[in-house]
Amino acid sequence: MTDVMLAVRNVSKAFGAHQVVDNLSFTLNRADRLAIFAPSGAGKTTLLRLVAGLEQPDSGDITLQARSVITIFQEPRLFPFLTVEENIFLPFKAQGRAISPSDRQNASRWLEVSELLPFIHHYPCQLSGGMKQKAALIRGLLGHPDLVLLDEPFQSIGVESRQSLIRFMLDFTPGQTLLLVTHSGEEIQQLAQKVLVFQQPCLTRPRECFVENFSESGWPARQHEIMINNSDASPVSPVSAPHGLTY
Amino acid sequence: MKRSKAFITPLINEAAGFTLIMLIWGAASLFYPPYIIPSPWDVLGSVKTFLPQDFMLHLNITLYRIFAGFTISLLLGTILGVLAHLKGWSAPMNSLMLALQVLPGMVLGVIFLLMFGLGSATPILLIATLTLPTLALNTMNGLAKTDKALQELLVTLHARRSVTFTHIILPALIPVLQSNFSLGIGLAAKVVVMGEFIGAQDGLGYLLNAARITFDMKEVFFYLIVLLLFTLLLQALQSLFSSLFLKKYFYPE
């Protein structure tokens, strides 16, 4: 199988007059952990939805080589009438796959790390927002999918818990191919290997950036360290965001 | 919930509803003469004088007609509502059901009588036709509230159709079926009386009609209370079934 898991070629998407993605191209190789860093409302979520097949591009094409792709949304999207255990094993049930003893063992380890083990038979309405998001994360990663699309998944999880989950995630799924959209420099530092930075309030002409160049606040630390792969684009300012943009 | 509590709670709720109606009836009877509104105790005291020997036969026939008509409309209404939702026929189905809803029951009853003659067909068809629009519209509107975010999640998981049905359609359908049952059974009990007025020579509607003609209001009120009790009992059974088997689908938001 080829090493390219995802190829996005000249993809554009608009909602009415609002251009959200404009002629965007990038590739994601096996075991890559790529973060998309862009202003609020720039279309990061739309990009993930396009890759997940929930939206169709107006032009361009998206090629997925991954056999199994899991999307972990901003909201937990747990089934309210299923327990935590039933929710985390849902992908197996949905695809008619058997749950092996090792899957159950992995689930227990995940639940332990995320401190959800005592809540395994609880329903989502009995959990806090952070606990729900952890359950959604476990559900996404448990089956070792080829590609994981993460849409700001740690937003509602507390700092300590977030760090232990990220650490566990990287230990548990080494070589996991990830496409992450986030606002958090901390998440980029911990999770991503490279970053595509978008300056415009629309996803177009990205600059590739090393993770080390990201400060925890989320902005590249030093301007000259930004790897620009787009010669006609102006460099991203490390000091202040371009006018009108909120990162 | 403990099983005993699950059994007692719906019964208590329905008994409370029944008691309230009896109290209102009792209070109203204080302001009107017995030939207009007889008191509950007057009706109870004189049951023996008007109750026909074959009362149980009439009762059974009426219950059979309610069940038959209601089952047809529940099945048909649910199927039409689900189809309209899945196939995107909501707008035309809405218009069709609204058109059916304005058809006067008396006219339909006479048409069915002319088509099928005296017997069970007229009341059964009348119940099925007059309750169908309410149940189909309720099903359609209930299913319109399926959780789109969860539907998307299943799309990304490439879920099998059966999983989409059990995790998206069925959970949206269960509260709809519950409200269909509550709405429909009350409506069916009302319509069966009209159907038996028009097209039958037996059943509670027929007895009620005979009592109405002779202005025997004690008898009229007695048959109304029998129908009410039957409806409340079915409602209690349905609540019991929901609390025992479907509780997980009724979760706090």
Q: Between chains, do A81 and B251 touch, taking CB under 8 Å as contact? A: yes
Report how far residue B185's alpha carbon sits from residue B127's, in angstroms, rounded to the nearest whole number. 10
pLDDT for position A226: 38
Residue with tokens 């958090």: A184
Contacts of A73 in chain B (CB under 8 A): 149, 153
Report how far residue A34's alpha carbon sits from residue A32's, in angstroms, rounded to the nearest whole number. 6
User: Residue A151 in contact with residue B153, Cβ under 8 Å?
Assistant: no
User: Residue A33 in contact with residue A211, Cβ under 8 Å?
Assistant: no
**Structure tokens that stand for A120 in this block:** 């395994």
Residue in A54, A75, A93 nearest the CB of B156? A54
Task: Kindly state whether residue A159 falls inside one of the protein's structural domains.
Answer: no
Q: Which position has the higher pLDDT, A237 or A216?
A: A216
Q: Which position has the higher pLDDT, A91 or B5?
A: A91
pLDDT for position A98: 92
Mutation to test the B interface, candidates A69, A93, A126, most B Cβ within 10 Å? A93
Average pLDDT over chain A, rounded to an integer: 79
Q: How confident is the model at residue A68 (pLDDT cuts 50, 70, 90)?
A: confident
Q: Between chains, do B251 and A93 touch, taking CB under 8 Å as contact? A: no
Q: For residues A219-230, give the mean pLDDT.
A: 39
Q: Is B165 on the interface with A (CB under 8 A)?
A: no
Say whether A181 sits in a helix, a strand or coil: strand
Task: Kindly state whether residue A51 falls inside one of the protein's structural domains.
Answer: yes
Residue A193 has pLDDT above 70, yes or no: yes
Q: Between chains, do A94 and B252 touch, taking CB under 8 Å as contact? A: no
User: Residue B135 in contact with residue B78, Cβ under 8 Å?
Assistant: yes
Predicted TM-score (pTM) of the model is 0.74
Q: What is the CATH number of the domain that holds A241?
A: 3.40.50.300
Residue A245 has pLDDT above 70, yes or no: no
CATH number of the B54-216 domain: 1.10.3720.10
Q: How many domains does chain A have?
A: 1
**Structure tokens that stand for A188 in this block:** 């980029």
Of A116, A150, A133, A147, the closest CA to residue A36 belongs to: A150
Q: Is B161 on the interface with A (CB under 8 A)?
A: no
pLDDT for position A240: 36
Say whether A219 sits in a helix, a strand or coil: coil
Q: For residues A6-26, give the mean pLDDT.
A: 88
State the ipTM, two decimals: 0.80
User: Residue A145 in contact with residue A127, Cβ under 8 Å?
Assistant: no
Q: Between chains, do B156 and A77 touch, taking CB under 8 Å as contact? A: no
pLDDT < 70 stretches in chain B: 1-7, 251-253
Find, in chain B, the residue whose alpha carbon is nearest to that of A143: B157
User: Residue A207 in contact with residue A229, Cβ under 8 Å?
Assistant: yes
Task: Kindly state whether residue A72 falls inside one of the protein's structural domains.
Answer: no
Structural domain boundaries enclosing A48: 1-66+179-247
Task: Kindly state whether residue A123 falls inside one of the protein's structural domains.
Answer: no
Task: Kindly state whether residue A188 falls inside one of the protein's structural domains.
Answer: yes
